[in-house]
Chain A
Amino acid sequence: MKIKIKLIRTAEQATSAQVVASIDLLTEILLRFPIKSLIRFKLVSKDWHYFITNPKFCHLRNPNPNPALGLLLPFPNFRISPLFEYVPFSVQNPTNPPLRKLKFTKDSSRISILKSCNGLLLCSSLRALNHNLKYYVYNPTTKRFTTLPKPDQGTGIRKKICASRSQLMPISKKGCIGMVRCTGLVMGPLSLYFVIDEERLETLPMPPIPDGWEGRSNYYIGESCGHLNFIETFGPQIQFDVYEMKRDYSEWFVKYQVDLSPLVSAFPGMIRSYLNPTNWYYYALSIFCLIQGERYGDSFLVLQIPGKAIRYNLVHKTFEKLHDFEGAEVEDSLRFSWTNGFQHIESLCCV
């Protein structure tokens, strides 16, 4: 496609030179737009719409880093009321919820999100029996989805992996599906990673377990902007280390040290005073996710305390309330106790 877009000077300008910009030039400018503007500018004309939707353009736009904008949290009674609550990561410039409900397909059974990765959501039908279970990859920014081949069709999955190599990696092994960026995959307590390019599994080293503890404990593991982070707490801890994996997957190193005592002082409702302070559930607190900022000082934790989501800056050790959860809260309970939520990242990635 070759569109010539004329950039004509207005009449009042004496020279009235005519600049004819090639599509390449326009592409270069468009590539530097935020995704929200690009979606809006689809309405400029049909040519623009076609161009912005074109997989080639989307692929070019994709490597530009897109920060996570917020968190999608499935309602606690998701099976009855399949809705999501949205927590924007900025108090000053909150973003709009990308969705309230997943309704991109007419799949009769309801759909839930399994993973979020670089702006794409891996979803599956919620109520179908195993043999009817369908997996989808959905882009909430472009509202496009694709249905993944059934996990037992090994070659099909492999094809999908190849087709989407630079975008996301759905892999299937014994019925478990995960998605990662190009480099690897951590499968829960197994601590393995999958080398996509060589299609092999490797063991991931893990941080040491402290004396007196027998196995892995309550942990968070998550990826943000190409960094893999790990947090583990043994008992009711509000002081803990945040580990980051080295690029070569050789070892974890302590990236941040966190002390949440000031948070507890500010929100004493976090303390379940009727419990013994050594009780695992003494603090009503959970980690939703760790978000790496574009600059070093921007990295933060998104925490859950009763009724609220908190943003805790890992470098400056400051915190602020991000969001009050909808509806009334039972005093010291955590509404989203079973989920880390799903990061929302704008992406033009074609699925």
Chain B
Amino acid sequence: MSSSTELTEKKVFLLKSLDGVIFEVEESVAVQLEVIRELIEGDCARPFISLYNVTSEILALVIEYCKHHAETCSGGTSATIADEDLKTFDNEFMNVDENILLELCSAADYLDIKSLFELTCRTLASLIKDRTIIEVRKMFNVENDFSVVEEKAVRKEFAWAFK
């Protein structure tokens, strides 16, 4: 980044994942994690900020996402090019295993990163929307507690949705 030549030392923060891995991130990345933003801006950040709900595997991805977004937004390119670039990046970034996606979604929720949360929710929704009921039960580990008669009644009532 262009600011690396500045004389003032750039602030870095240390984020500690659930499994104890420490990540060094710049302020522009850290402030995107709304959950710790206040802590950072209030200048009362401790040596390590522990993120208890996020594993290192997921945190690495989250940091990659925030870093790319921070760089693109401050890169001085025009808004439309930046937008296009972010779209391409987001699409590729979402090209991961479904369980990773769920964990990313959960992490984005916990860390309060709105854009990543929206992105993961949307991606998950479009992944799941056309699945069969059995597949959805399996994915969310839900047991079928409908009787045959009850299931038939629902299918009959909303026949158009099951065509």
Contact = CB atoms under 8 A, between A and B. Distances in A.
B25 interface: no
A216 to B, nearest CB: 39
Contacts of B125: 29-30, 32-33
Contacts of A31: 121
A17 B124 contact: no
A45 B142 contact: yes
Interface residues of A, number: 38
Contact of B99 (A13, A37, A39, A47): A13
Contacts of B157: 143
Contact of B160 (A10, A41, A49, A96): A96
A93 to B, nearest CB: 13
Interface stretch (B31-39, B69-77, B144-152): B144-152
A40 B133 contact: yes
Interface in B115-163: 117, 121-122, 124-126, 128-130, 133, 136-137, 139-146, 151, 154-155, 157-158, 160-163
Contact of B140 (A15, A39, A44, A49): A44
B130 A37 contact: yes
A7 interface: yes
Interface stretch (B42-50, B83-91, B102-110): B102-110
A43 B159 CA distance: 12
**Majority-rule SS of B interface residues:** helix
Nearest to B162: A40
Interface string A1-44: 00001111110010101010100111011111110110111111
A46 interface: yes
Nearest to A9: B99
Contacts of A7: 99, 102, 139-141
A37 B162 CA distance: 9
Given A8-B141, A28-B117, A32-B121, A17 B103 contact: yes
B20 to A, nearest CB: 14
Nearest to B136: A44
B137 A45 contact: yes
A96 B137 contact: no
A29 B105 contact: yes
B128 A40 contact: no
A207 interface: no
B55 A15 contact: yes
Given A5-B140, A6-B140, A46-B146, 13 more contacts: A5-B141, A8-B141, A17-B55, A32-B125, A32-B126, A37-B130, A41-B133, A44-B136, A48-B142, A97-B160, A98-B160, A143-B157, A143-B158
13 contacts: A19-B102, A26-B140, A36-B161, A37-B128, A41-B133, A43-B146, A43-B154, A47-B142, A49-B154, A97-B160, A98-B160, A143-B157, A143-B158
